[in-house]
Amino acid sequence: MDLHKNDSQNYDYIPPPPPYSPPKTNGKSIAALVLGILAIAIPYVGFLIGIIAIIFASLSLKEIKLTHEQGRGMAIAGLVCGIVGTALYAIIILFVLIAFITIAGTGFSLA
Q: Where are the domains of the chain?
A: 24-105
Quick one: pLDDT at residue 90?
Answer: 93
- Cβ atoms 60, 75 nearer than 8 A: yes
pLDDT digits (tens, 9 = 90+) for 38-56: 999 998 899 999 999 999 9
- Cβ atoms 36, 77 nearer than 8 A: yes
Q: Which residues pair with 25 in a beta bridge?
A: 70
Q: Is 53 helix (H, G, I), strand (E, B) or coil?
A: helix
Total-model pTM = 0.74
Residue 106: phi and psi, rounded to 5, are -85, -10
Confidence check: pLDDT of 94 > 90: yes
